[in-house]
Structure 1
Amino acid sequence: MVSLKLLLLTVCLVKLLSNYLVYGNNLLYRELGCTSILTENSDAGAYDCGNFETRSADKCYFYGKAYDLNQELSDADSITIPCYAACKCRSTSFKGENVASFRCANVECPSLFNRRPAEPCYYQYEKDNCCEVKTYCPETKSTVYQCEYDNIMYKEGEKIYINNNICICKPGFNGTINNDWCREIRCNNEINNIKSIIAKGAPVYFKTSEGCPIEWLNPENIPGTAGKFASAGKSQIVQKCKYGSLELLVGQELEIGDLSDSESYKTTCSCEIPPFITCLKQIKS
């Protein structure tokens, strides 16, 4: 029988992932402005993130744009992350040094604390809003505009996840990614996890790396050692993954001890696409 603890952890993870269903691991590198290093098959086998190492410690960065201390995130950038509010560049202490990082308020949606409305009522959303904009109760099902995507029907105002975008069912929707009804989902690692990135921590994904990290492992709190090779490394990739000062070759596992949730979840880490380690968390059967 599934324990109450496991059930609650699963519910929390599902809620956390509801906005991040379709991102890939490579988007972390894109967010940091890293340059891809292609293999002989033209795949991104590794990334060069040297530009991150040379960033100014007294500036915050958002998708390549620099902000001075005490400067607020611009309206143009804020609208791309509607689940955050009042983001401002602040100075904080990390490893005895001052580091600039954004501090934001999290937008809490009423639907997170309430039961879903009973049929035929449902929540409606808009592209540039984090939360539901209203609860709509149609008089009859036939009065509701519907969209079809991937053989699934959606009612007007419902979210549709397409690749790394949240799209909204509305008149005119044709299944393509269009600014009229879609916005890109962003992982916002530079806002949430800048200290872990600086420390060369490891992003942790739920079940598959086709998603935003749900947490990061910090090498100072969770030490690791180089383990066996879980898969054959790409011989032409000479770049290594780093976990703190530890270096691993492509295909090599990172051995870590038990985590606080090890009773219910299994976390495995390995070097897939340097320079960051990739960790996957799965529910134990």
Structure 2
Amino acid sequence: MIVFLLVFRSVLGDMAGECNLAGFYMELGCTPMPNADNTTICPEFFSCPNLHPDPNMCYYRGVSYADRAMIPQNLIKNPCSQACSCSVIGTPQFDCAAVDCVEVFDSDAQQECISTFELDSCCSTGTVCGKDAIANLKTCEVDGQIYKEGQSFEPANTRKTCICTAQWNGSYDEPSCKDINCGVEIHYQDKIFDNCAPVFVGNMKSCPIAFQCPSDRSKIIRGLNVRSVSMQCSFGNMTLNVGDEVTVDEKCTKCSCDKPPFVSCMRKNSCDE
């Protein structure tokens, strides 16, 4: 049984790094549904639990929180989410303390120093300064880049964050690496409640940068369901078939039903009006 669970976790980890929206859905506790022909690791759609059985409660990882109740910090999977409490004023949402990392605001980046991190930290936990001290650090070579001991990196084609350590052996497993958690339920609780769509830039394997909600001007543009997927997407009170698009107010954002049950959006880095 233990071996099966380890293999299953490995398959899910591979899926999150290789398949669009897989990491997003798995963070919400959704289950990947197998394709009819079983020819690819990437599922056509996901089966999601009822994410908001009670509209007067907040939900995180299947647990309900009443108004002003706090999520125990040891249960939060994203280290940058601190002191998060439920707020039910209209649409339920979580409010968290702001985390300001010094290294982000250090405009005079010290050329003689590097910031070091720990796997479960949001901000850097130390610095190493001086050419000799930096030169004596162990290194990790990943995707053609060299990282010094204590530096963080995200390997290509994975959904993991890692720390270069003196003991690193090239494996992307614990204790050097862990799955990236975007904090979707915490930061976008109200948007999920309203059946809004996650917005991505570049690819749909990374964390969403925002959520797009429908407006009175949103219209469905019917498309062709070439994969014959029966599952549908929800966007506010609208229902879309796979292959359908929906218009949104943001001109640089394209939203469609590709991998139900959520509509998903891609935002261009730049666009011509």
Alignment CA distance shift 1:204-1:166 (3 Å): same
* TM-score, length of structure 2 as denominator length: 0.81
Alignment partners' CA distance in 2, 1:116 and 1:64: 43
* 1:51 aligned residue: 50
Change (3 A) 1:24 1:125: farther
Is the Cα contact below 8 Å between 1:268 and 1:279 reproduced in 2? yes
In structure 1, distance between residues paired with 2:59 and 2:187: 12
- Length-normalised TM-score, structure 1: 0.78
Q: Deviation at 1:277?
A: 0.8
Change (3 A) 1:122 1:180: same
Q: Structure 1: state its 5+ residue gaps.
A: 1-20
Higher mean C-alpha deviation, range 131-140 or range 207-216: 131-140
Q: Which runs of 5+ in 2 are unaligned?
A: 1-16
Provide, for residues 105-130 of structure 1, a one-character-per-residue CA deviation record: whole Å limited to 9, x for no partner.
12111122112623332111111110
The amino acid across from 1:156 in the alignment is E
2:34 corresponds, among 27, 30, 38, to 38
**Which residue matches 1:186?**
181
The AA in structure 2 aligned to 1:72 is M
Contact 2:51/2:62 (CA < 8 Å) preserved in 1?
no
> Secondary structure, in 3 states, of the residue corresponding to 1:242?
strand
Aligned equivalents of 1:125, 1:116: Cα separation in 2: 19
Equivalence for 2:12: none
Q: What secondary structure is seen at the aligned counterpart in 1 of 2:268?
A: strand
Aligned to 2:260: 274
Q: CA deviation at 1:246?
A: 1.7
Percent identity of the aligned residues? 28
- AA paired with 1:47? F
Q: Which amino acid aligns with 2:54?
A: S
Over the aligned positions, Cα root-mean-square deviation in angstroms equals: 2.4
2:63 to 65, 75, 82: 65
1:1-285 aligned within 5 A: 24-42=20-38, 43-53=42-52, 55-78=53-76, 80-94=77-91, 99=92, 101-115=93-107, 117-140=109-132, 141-162=134-155, 163-220=158-215, 223-229=217-223, 232-235=225-228, 237-257=229-249, 259=250, 262=251, 266-284=252-270
- Structure 2 residue aligned with 1:3: none
Q: Distance in 2 between matches of 1:23 and 1:67?
A: 31
Using the alignment, how far apart are the partners of 1:56 and 1:232 within structure 2? 33
Question: Given residue 37 of structure 1, which amino acid in structure 2 is its aligned partner?
Answer: M
| 1:202 counterpart letter in structure 2 | A
Displacement of 1:71 in angstroms is 3.1
**1:232-263 Cα shifts (integer Å, max 9, x gaps):** 5311x111112112222112222234x2xx4x
Query: CA-to-partner distance for each residue in 1:181-220, whole Å, 9 max, x for gaps?
Result: 2232112121111221121111110121121111111114
Amino acid at match of 1:118: Q
Q: Flag the 1:185–1:280 CA change in 2: closer, same or farther, 3 A.
A: same
CA distance in 2, matches of 1:66, 1:233: 39
State how far apart, in whole Å, the 1-side matches of 2:104 and 2:219 are: 39
Alpha carbons 1:24, 1:212 under 8 Å: kept: no
The count of corresponding residues between Structure 1 and Structure 2 is 249
Q: For the residues of structure 2 that align with 1:81 and 1:149, how far apart are their CA atoms? A: 24
Q: Give the secondary structure class of the aligned counterpart of 1:207.
A: coil
CA pair 27-92 structure 1, distance change in 2 beyond 3 A? farther
> Is the contact made by 1:23 and 1:164 (CA closer than 8 Å) also made in structure 2?
no
Q: Is the 8 A contact 1:22 1:211 kept in 2?
A: no
SS in structure 2 at match of 1:27:
helix
- Aligned partners of 2:29 and 2:49 also within 8 Å: no
Q: Give 2:139's aligned amino acid.
A: Q
Deviation of 1:69 after TM superposition, in Å, equals: 4.0
* Separation (CA, whole Å) in 2 of partners of 1:207 and 1:156: 29
Letter in 1 for 2:99: V
Shift of 1:65: 3.2
Q: 1:269 to 1:143 in 2, by over 3 A?
A: same
The letter of the residue matching 2:44 is G
Structure 1 CA distance for aligned equivalents of residues 59 and 176 of structure 2: 27
> Secondary structure at the residue paired with 1:283?
coil
More strand by percentage? 1
